[in-house]
Structure 1
Amino acid sequence: MESSEATDAVPMRHVVYDRFGGSDVLQVTESPVPVPAGGEVLIRVHGAGLNPIDWKTRKGLGFVATQIEGRMPWTPGYDAAGEVVAVADDVTTLAPGDRVMGMIGFAESGGAYAQYAVARADELAIVPEELDLVTAGGVPLAALTAWQALFEVAGLESGQKILIHAGAGGVGHFAVQFALERGAHVIATASASNRDFLAELGVHEVIDYHTTDIADECYGLDVVLDLIGGETGKRSLQTLSESGVLVTIPTVTADEVVSAAEAMGVRAHGMKTRPDVFHLEEIAELIEDGDVRVHVDRVFPLEQARDAHDLLEAGHVRGKLVLDCR
């Protein structure tokens, strides 16, 4: 194993929980620094992004919770950015000192809420020099969700009209920028307080969901990206053109939205995000070129993971929340 620093002597701090529940189950503890196995690298984590799946799993909700139930204590987190400090002998694509980010340990391993984390080398992309490593921690899962929803599932093309719900959120603020970069006409829903933020990103129309019913305002859309689910997703089906498609992200309501679409004779799909280093490299290039920017609403130290979870679960975060794991 090739290594750039001694990590054996000092234990690392990381967040764990040993049971499902509220944010109070999150604890900071110390453990030995992990050693990368074949195909893996060890990252000294600078930034770990928070995602809704983190608090949902912590509460015992969803598929991942059923998988990790017998494997606690468990360290959450799938978004990591930092510096490679060691690589397994069979890894030739990365070296100690490389600045990397990735969606790691998905779905049952997790591990990003930590000072050090192991990751598969083929899950990691190089972080552009323009992007600091704490901020980069907010990129992978949310950006990959937006990318795969827009371009793989919906097949968004230049000139099409798209409605993006919760456009100022973690996935949303990436999605509006990707859609604009692709040449789409972008409409986004947001609260009034986020209107200027979305206008700065270049969104063509911002609809205040508190005061306006999107079914009255929008029609003939090519794509709807539904980041809210439930009744919002079902109501949005009325805005589609005959050939349009809605992609709904929240898995808990995906089946009911898709069933409602079938009853109406329109298309809707759920999706699950997956790690994809090639997509992540394309996203990194857009960030490097200045075509996409990463907005981090707040950075919390590792010890304040509970506060970060509470804020995330309450909703209405602009952009991303990130843990500073240094």
Structure 2
Amino acid sequence: MTKKTVLVTGGAGFLGSHLCKALLERKNRVICMDNFFTGRQRNIAPFMNNPDFEVMNHDVINPYSFYVDEIFNLACPASPPHYQRDPISTYKTNIFGALNALDLADKWNAKVFQASTSEVYGDAQLHPQPETYWGNVNPHGIRSCYDEGKRGAETLFFDYHRQHGTRIKVVRIFNTYGPNMNPEDGRVVSNFIMQALKNEDITIYGDGKQTRSFCYCDDLIRGWLCLMDSDDSVTGPVNMGNPGEFTMLELAEKVIALTNSKSKLVYKPLPGDDPKQRRPDISLAGELFGWKPEVQLEEGLKRTIEYFKEF
């Protein structure tokens, strides 16, 4: 088979680096585009001697042009502390990043994949959340640069598909964790693990009864490739995540037990617009290509804890 040339924007990030690894294992040529705002060199260091791997230091807000067969558009800070650090840049990354990826896909009739998010559902009033749910999103809150940015990117993807016949794939990602996460990214799994390993107080926001569903990174990447390999008639959006639902207190207790930590729980006020419940309805992914997550939370946490012990 002829090698495909695949662009991964945000390829040095947590999920981007796992995707690059999977694509290289499939014998593709991989172009990893990243401006290293949150992406890290250490994530892609294992691939640097691979002749089929190329790194391009570039901000997706700015146009680019070269031949590609497929595009995975992942570029965007994904944790609240990072995307709230420069909210205008976050919004521009979502919108201009989508436009530039779509224009390049149009030029070469390439498949283009959009990494959307469960945040498009906002503080959901329907539980669990199916793809048909339109969401409950604050358009001008502190999370809006990310939430509305991702919603706007989805709009562009489907408008390009309707107007230009662009070959699109849209996935909505629910909370994902695993090795290559930035230990300082401010996400709940990395926060809890790092605090527990240092025997520091574990920070619980609100009463700790808000819920999330945690998907291990390998399961998610496998689902992405299933979606990208599917027929062009399958555009999405498709939810991907683990439907197992846990409170923040349950997660903290699991992390403390698995790390044998002496950490205590401390409570702080809940940040603005923080969703109270989050759980995916993944029945569509099962119907389309038989996908479902396989790694249970305890096993995934063990692997992630081993990674974080390096820091």
Please state which band the TM-score falls in when normalised by the shorter chain. 0.3 to 0.5
Richer in helix (by share)? 2
| TM-score after normalising by structure 2 | 0.37
| TM-score after normalising by structure 1 | 0.35
**For the pair shown, which has the larger CA radius of gyration, 1 or 2?**
1
